[in-house]
Amino acid sequence: MDISVVIPLLNEEESLQELYDWIVSVMQSNQFLYELIFIDDGSTDASWKIIHEISQKSGTVKGIRFQKNFGKSQALDAGFKIATGKVIITMDADLQDSPDEIPELYRLIIEQDFDLVSGWKKKRYDNLIAKNIPSKIFNWAARKTSGLQLHDFNCGLKAYKNVVIKTVKVRGEMHRYIPVLARNKGFLKIGEKVVLHQARKYGKTKFGMSRFINGFLDLITISFLSKFGKRPMHFFGLWGTLMFIFGFCSAGYLGITKLYKLSQGIKTILITENPWFYIALVSMILGTQLFLAGFIGELILKSKDGENNYLIREKINH
Q: How much is the pLDDT for 301? A: 61
Give the pLDDT score at 266.
85
For residue 228, the model assigns a pLDDT of 65
CA distance 72 to 7: 10
pLDDT of residue 80: 95
Q: Return the exposure string of 241-279: e unless at least 16 CB atoms fall within 10 Å of the residue's CB, then b.
A: eebbebbeebbeebeeebeeeeeeeeeeeeeeeeeebee
CA distance 237 to 202: 52
- Does this model's pTM top 0.85? My answer is no
The rounded distance, in Å, linking the Cα atoms of 254 and 35 is 72
pLDDT at 268: 81
pLDDT value of position 302: 59
Pairing verdict, β 87-90 and 158-161? antiparallel
Which contiguous run of DSSP H or E holds residue 277? helix 275-302
C-alpha 38 chain-centroid distance: 19
The predicted structure's pLDDT at residue 305: 52
Q: Which residues of the chain have pLDDT under 70?
A: 125-132, 203, 205-219, 221-230, 298, 300-310, 318
209 burial (CB, 10 Å; 0-12 / 13-18 / 19+) is: exposed
233 burial (CB, 10 Å; 0-12 / 13-18 / 19+) is middle
User: Are residues 86 and 110 in contact, defined by beta-carbon separation less than 8 angstroms?
Assistant: yes
pLDDT value, residue 121: 85
> Domain limits of the chain?
3-228, 232-302
Task: Identify the pLDDT of residue 317.
Answer: 77
Q: How far apart are CA 150 and CA 193, in angstroms?
A: 10
Q: What is the pLDDT of residue 206?
A: 60
Task: Judge whether 175 and 77 are in contact, CB under 8 Å.
Answer: no
Number of neighbouring beta carbons within 10 Å of residue 211: 17
> Residue 14, SS3?
coil
The predicted pLDDT at position 129 comes to 54
pLDDT tens for residues 131-177? 667 777 777 877 877 778 888 888 889 999 999 999 988 877 778 88
Could you say which of 3.30.1300.10, 3.90.550.10, 3.40.50.670, 3.40.50.300 is the CATH number of the domain covering 3-228? 3.90.550.10
